[in-house]
Amino acid sequence: MDMLLEVENLKKSFGGVQAVDDLSFVVQEGSITGLIGPNGSGKTTCFNLISGLLRPDAGSIRFAGREITSLRPSWIARLGIGRSFQIPAPFTRMTVLENVMVGAFSRTRSLGEASRLALEVLEFTGLKEKRDELAANLTTADRKRLEVARALSTGPRLLLLDEVIAGLNPTEVLGAMELIRAIRARGITVFMVEHVMEAVLPLCEWVIVLNFGRKIAEDTPDRIVRNPAVIEAYLGERFRARS
Amino acid sequence: MELFLQTLVDGLLIGGLIIVIGVGFSLCFGVMHIIDFAVGEWVMLGAYTAFWMVRYLGRDPFLYLPVIFFLYLAIGYLIYPLIHRAVSGRRHNPALMGLVFTFGLASLIKGGALTAWGFHVRSVTTWLSGESLALGVAVVPALRFAGFAFGVLATVAFMLFLKWSKIGVAIRAMAQDRVMAELLGVDTNRVSALVYAMYTGLTGMAGVLIGALFSIHAGMGLKYTTFAFFVVVLAGMGYVPGVIPAAFLLGLLQSFVTVYVSGRYTLLAVFFVLYLTLLVRPRGLLGRGW
Amino acid sequence: MAVPLFVSSFWLRIATEVLMWAGLAQSWNIIGGYTGYLSFGHGAFFGIGAYTTAILMVHAGWPFWPTLPVGAVLSVLCAATIGIPTLRLRGAYFAIATWAFGEAVRQVATVLEITGGAFGMQLPPFLNLPFFYEAILIATILTYLLAYLLLERSMFGYKLRAIRENEIAAETAGVDTVVTKIEAFALSAIPAAIFGGLYAYLITYIHPDSVLGPAITDLMVVMVLFGGVGTLWGPLVGATAIQLVNRLLWFLRGESTLYLVYAGVAICLVVLFMPDGLMGLVERRRVLFRPRENLKALLRQFKL
């Protein structure tokens, strides 16, 4: 497998806080890779750097062999990185279909074609019935789905999912996991930030763990859960609290 | 050379007075993210209030400074809830609605003043009018120096208030992180109202001195709105300490253009520098803006 | 397009004004309503159009029609100059910059020799109201047609609305927001300039207060707000209502600065109590008549 995303020595600080500190990792093409870590460990900052919403202080990001560090977010999106937001950011006074069409504009110059592409994505993500609803009227679960749909509509090779599972009820979690697997089955690489371990562990082939902006481990899920550094930093408290 | 020094001193003196307007205005932006398009109109109202008080009650306009401060403090405190309603609307982009509201407010105040008081140019006389003061090589009208002294004193007092008072701490906390401040029990609505009230109070008071220094007319607000925008953009939006150098720069720009080019081009020069700043250093000269 | 004969010149004048304001309001609506960036100096484009027509006709001896595109091009250039640096920044900067631009243009018109300074300039008189009625009617229809095609029936319009709703999300979904916003601002300057040129020829005597006064931007803003921000027909509804009230006031009180007060009060009241404008009321009414959807929405409230 090829390396689709290569991050090298990435650094970003806010004031005195080092949010991402000398971070390097790769995401394999065709994989589902997880990015986990305690709150404030720099996961979302890392996503914001990759998708171009923040400029790194140092380091480089390469996508499919191409340098994308400090490109504008819209360019990065057009190059093939789709991204969903942790707090859903729909275009509230537009319909579900229109929301997804906006993403499809990067693939076509015709409005009719954009609408056809958007419908296909809506069908795939299970939102087709709600296509004429205003995004403002959607439930939380549907808003998260809409986030994924809009990101998919740009025709990405790599999809960055920022906590699309957290906050869903158990049935919805299963649905979301199924969707993520289906996305990968379409040949789209998935790179996901997630808090819900019950979802990350069965989904991902590879997991990267951050703490205080640094990578403390990366491995397969079954080995990650046995990694002492990870248990110490993150899993420990959670699993101990559960059992 | 003498002219140069005179111009320099004049510019610095005016800059000192402008600081007062800039500090309140910048704080409003820093704390509530509100840009008040009516800023110059508060200056105009302050000047007119002093004019009418002197006309009907006599005595020196400087005596009325505290009265005018509290008057505009109260007016600002009463108006703020309306602004709050505008920026917290549910269906529309709230930040936009706040801008539109203050834009409407500016139009309303200016139109009201033009209608009530017409286009006459008025002036007030103070006990300092006509006096002058030798400052090294430059001879300055005492009034100008008083304006400067007022500006500096009011700014220092305001800064001390922000630094030491309980409300001041709450205000600074809100400017840092509104959500966090709210979680920690700061009554953000009341604090915002107070910030706005203090800003209108200070600006109204500055209006008294501006009115005494220059002339008073209903259209004068435009100039000071421009000045306030200039100062906060050069300072970096929401970065209060940056206001001080920016205000002095404005004073210098204004006095040098007036003396060496022509008074007619002063505002144009201000607009030009404002545009250049937006073009080259949008986060302010110090790069600390929002 | 013939003017009905029974229409007196009085009503024709009012109709002409209403149409012009409807067009001007729509021009503001493109950037302020659809894109969500407030141009508080939009009156400057109107003034630039007016002065371009006046200067070319008076000083260069041009015929009327070719002056209009020149004014439009100049306005587009100015919009790009203001928009390129400031539309990269947050909306507050844009509002400040456009406001400053509007005031700066008025200052320029007041100090320049070629514009006649504060005294203004006299155009070759052409007192033919039906001509202006027709010309402005056509310009307004074209403005609305353009707005319909570009804002309601094209990708461009969807992109603008996406920017208004959530700019970061739009950018992440592949919309080049900076370019799109600059295009929208440049586009919005065109109708304003054209109407400026037509208006200058109509009133034949222009000066900084008449074509660059603060009330022009105020009125565009209030008309769009009152009618409905970011809707196709909102500006038409708002312009009709506000301009008719203005004329009524004019009959009662004469020309006066009260104009600014009314505009200001109207802006504040609309922001506070009717942020979606008249079109918003109509829309909500329509929603009210959809019992099933409303019931569903109501049930969802209980679930949360």
Beta bridge mates, A11: A58
Task: Say what the pLDDT of residue B49 is.
Answer: 92
C297 interfacial to chain A (CB closer than 8 Å) = yes
8 Å CB contact between B253 and B269: yes
For residue B1, give both structure tokens: 């050379």
Per-residue burial over A175-205, b if 16 or more Cβ lie within 10 Å, else e, is bbbebbeebbeeebbbbbbbbbbebbbebbe
d(CA C269, CA B107): 13
H helix runs in chain C, sequence order:
9-28, 43-59, 67-86, 91-111, 129-147, 155-165, 167-172, 177-203, 208-212, 214-227, 234-253, 258-273, 277-288, 291-303
Kindly state the tokens that stand for C159: 């992109």
Please work out, in degrees rounded to the nearest 5, the angle formed at the alpha carbon of residue C53 by the alpha carbons of C51 and C55: 65
For residue B194, what are the contacts with CB-CB under 8 A and spacing of at least 6? B77, B167, B171
pLDDT band at C252; cut points 50, 70, 90: confident
Interface membership of A9 toward C (CB under 8 Å): no
Would you give the end-to-end CA distance of chain A in angstroms?
Answer: 38
Mean pLDDT in residue range C37-50: 94
As a whole number of angstroms, the distance between CA C200 and CA C172 comes to 44
**Residue B67: burial class (beta carbons within 10 Å; 0-12, 13-18, 19+):** middle
Prediction ipTM score: 0.90
Stronger pLDDT, C283 or A24, i.e. the higher one: A24
Higher pLDDT, C291 or C211: C211
CB atoms within 10 A of CB A8: 15
Closest listed residue to residue B123, CA positions, set B210, B20, B22, B186: B210
Q: What domains can be seen in chain B, in order of their start residue?
A: 2-280 (1.10.3470)
pLDDT of residue A243: 44
Of residues A217 and B183, the one with the higher pLDDT is A217
**pLDDT-based confidence at C304, cuts 50/70/90?**
very low
Query: Helices C43-59 and C91-111, interaxial angle, to 10°?
Result: 30
Put simply, the answer to whether C261 touches B111 (Cβ < 8 Å) is: yes
Say whether A111 and C162 touch across the interface (CB within 8 A): no
> Are the beta carbons of C268 and B82 separated by less than 8 Å?
yes
- Cβ-based contacts under 8 A for chains B and C: 145
Residue B182 sits at the vertex; the CA angle it makes with B176 and B184, to the nearest 5 degrees, is 90
pLDDT confidence bin for C299, thresholds 50/70/90: low
pLDDT in tens, C153-199: 899 999 999 999 999 999 999 999 999 999 999 999 999 999 999 99
Q: What angle is formed at CA B234 by the lines to CA B168 and CA C95, rounded to 5 degrees?
A: 90
Closest-approach residue (CA) in chain C for A99: C162
List of chains touching C (3+ CB pairs within 8 A): A, B
Q: Answer whether A194's CB lies under 8 Å from A163's CB.
A: yes
In this structure, what are the phi and psi dihedrals at residue C261, rounded to the nearest 5 degrees?
-65, -50
- Write out residues in chain B with pLDDT < 50, as ranges: none
- Pick the range with the lowest mean pLDDT from A29-43, A223-237, B201-215: A223-237
Nearest to C261 among B112, B267, B278 (CB): B112
Q: How confident is the model at residue C292 (pLDDT cuts 50, 70, 90)?
A: low
Range of the domain at C118: 9-213
Q: Residue C159 is nearest to which of A85, A102, A139, comparing CB atoms?
A: A102
Q: How does pLDDT run across C48-75, given as a tens digit for each residue?
A: 999 999 999 999 999 999 999 999 999 9
**Weakest-pLDDT range from A223-232, C71-80, C145-154:** A223-232
Residue whose pair of structure tokens reads 């609605």 in the numeric block:
B97
Residue bearing the bigger pLDDT, A2 or A133: A133
Name the residue among A92, A98, A154 with its Cβ closest to that of C174.
A154
Pairing of strands A189-193, A32-36: parallel
The nearest alpha carbon in chain A to C230 belongs to A93
Query: Is residue C93 a part of any domain in this protein?
Result: yes
Interface mutation vs chain A, best among C165, C171, C172, most A CBs within 10 Å: C172
Look at residues A206, A131, A143 and name the one whose alpha carbon lies nearest to residue A176.
Answer: A143
Please identify, in words, the CATH class of the domain defined by A3-229.
alpha beta
Please spell the DSSP secondary structure of C42-77, one letter per residue: THHHHHHHHHHHHHHHHHS---STTHHHHHHHHHHH
Q: What percent of chain A has pLDDT over 90?
A: 58
| Residues A167, A89 contacting (CB under 8 angstroms) | no
Residue C229's pLDDT is 87
Which residue type, as a one-letter code, is found at position A100?
V
Q: How far is C86 from chain B (nearest CA, A)?
A: 7
Residue A107, phi then psi, degrees to nearest 5: -105, -15
For residue B233, the chain C residues in CB contact (below 8 A) are: 93, 96
Subunits next to A (3 or more Cβ pairs <8 Å) are C
User: In this complex, is the C-beta atom of C148 within 8 Å of any C-beta atom belonging to chain A?
Assistant: no
Cα angle at B102 between B19 and B158, to 5 degrees? Answer: 30
A206 within 8 A of A48, measured Cβ to Cβ = no
Three-state DSSP string of A65-133: CEECCCCCHHHHHHHCEEECCCCCCCCCCCEHHHHHHHHHCCCCCCHHHHHHHHHHHHHHHCCHHHCCC
Contact A72 C170 (CB under 8 A): no
Q: Among C90, C100, C264, whose Cβ lies nearest the Cβ of B104?
A: C264
Q: What is the pLDDT of residue B174?
A: 85
Q: At what angle do helices B94-117 and B39-57 cross, to 10 degrees?
A: 30
Tens of pLDDT, residue by residue over A151-161, are 999 999 999 99
In the stretch 204-243 of chain C, residues with CB closer than 8 A to chain B read: 214-215, 218, 221-222, 225, 229
Nearest CA in chain C to B273: C100
pTM: predicted TM-score of the whole model, two decimal places: 0.89
Cα gap C110→C213, rounded to integer Å:
12
**Straight-line distance from the first to the last Cα atom of chain C, in angstroms, rounded to the nearest whole number:** 57
Give me the half-sphere count of Cα atoms (radius 13 Å) on the Cβ side of residue C135: 18
Token pair in block for residue C82: 């203001």
Beta partners for residue A209, in sequence order: A36, A217
- Residue-level pLDDT at A227: 85
Q: Is the Cβ of C118 closer than 8 Å to some Cβ of chain B?
A: no
Residue C236 lies in a domain: no
CB atoms near residue B98 (< 10 Å): 24
Is a pLDDT exceeding 60 seen at residue A42?
yes
CA distances in angstroms from C142 to C137, C139, C195, listed in the order given:
9, 5, 12
| Predicted local confidence at residue C283, as pLDDT | 66
If you average pLDDT over residues A163-172, what whole number do you get?
88
pLDDT, residue C288, reads 47
Burial B264-283 (b: 16+ CB within 10 A, else e): eebbbbbbebbbebbeeebb
**What is the domain count for chain C?**
1
Residues A239 and A220: their CA atoms lie apart, in Å, by 18
**Nearest CA among C74, C80, C116, C114 for reference residue C97:** C80
Measure in Å the smallest separation between the Cα of A232 and chain C Cα atoms: 35
Query: Average pLDDT over chain A, rounded to whole?
Result: 89
Interface test with C, best of A53, A102, A108, A139 (most C CBs within 10 A): A102
Would you call C172 and A51 a contact, using CB atoms and an 8 Å cutoff? yes
Interface residue A169 vs chain C (CB under 8 A): no
Residue C23 lies in a domain: yes
Tell whether C274 is within 8 A of chain B (Cβ): no
**Touching C: A residues 87-126, CB under 8 Å:** 89-94, 98-99, 101-103, 105-106, 109, 111, 114
> What is the residue-averaged pLDDT of chain C?
87
State whether residue C281 sits within 8 Å of chain B by CB: no
- Residues of B within 8 A of C107 (CB-CB) are 267-268, 271
Contact A85 C155 (CB under 8 A): no
**A20 three-state secondary structure:** strand
pLDDT of the residue at C275: 76
**pLDDT exceeds 90 at position A48:** yes
DSSP, collapsed to helix, strand or coil, labels residue A64 as coil
- Residues A98, C158: C-beta atoms closer than 8 Å: yes
